[in-house]
Amino acid sequence: MTLLLNVIWFVLAGFWLAVGYLVAGIVCCILIVTIPFGLASFRIAGYALWPFGRTVTERRGAGVPSLIGNVLWVLCGGWWLALIHLFTGLLLCITIIGLPLGVANIKLVPVALVPLGREIVPIR
């Protein structure tokens, strides 16, 4: 079932979300100073591409640099990314067919809001 949901997600939303996060990651890596944000964008892109069967957890030992980076991320645009994921997730939850896709979109909210100091792991 996870594979089927991931394929449906990939076709309907995941590919374009991943492309968006990849482009943002490339731009952040070109700007040198924002490389940590670029790496976080690449991590989110992988998660946005194939979200079912994986979850976001806090990385131990992330520390103060991740906290400072997350504050900068939220101020520079993480809040609107999270709002977009939340809004589209709620819209998808209106229909029964879109419900699992809406849940997957809502699962992206925490990592879109504060991506540093997090890791994406299999659910098993």
Chain segment 45-70, per-residue pLDDT in tens: 999 999 999 999 988 888 899 999 99
Written as six digits, the tokens of 8 are 């449906």
Tell me the β-bridge partners of 56: 120
Q: Tell me whether residue 11 is exposed, middle or buried, using C-beta atoms within 10 angstroms of its C-beta: 0 to 12, 13 to 18, 19 or more.
A: exposed
How many domains are contained in the chain? Answer: 1
- Provide the domain limits for residue 49: 2-122
Amino acid at site 18: A
pLDDT of residue 37: 92
Tens of pLDDT along 1-29?
Answer: 889 999 999 998 889 999 999 999 999 99
CA distance readout (Å), 54 to 24, 40, 49, 119:
22, 16, 11, 10
pTM: 0.86
What Rg do the C-alpha atoms of the chain give, in angstroms? 14
CA distance 25 to 42: 6
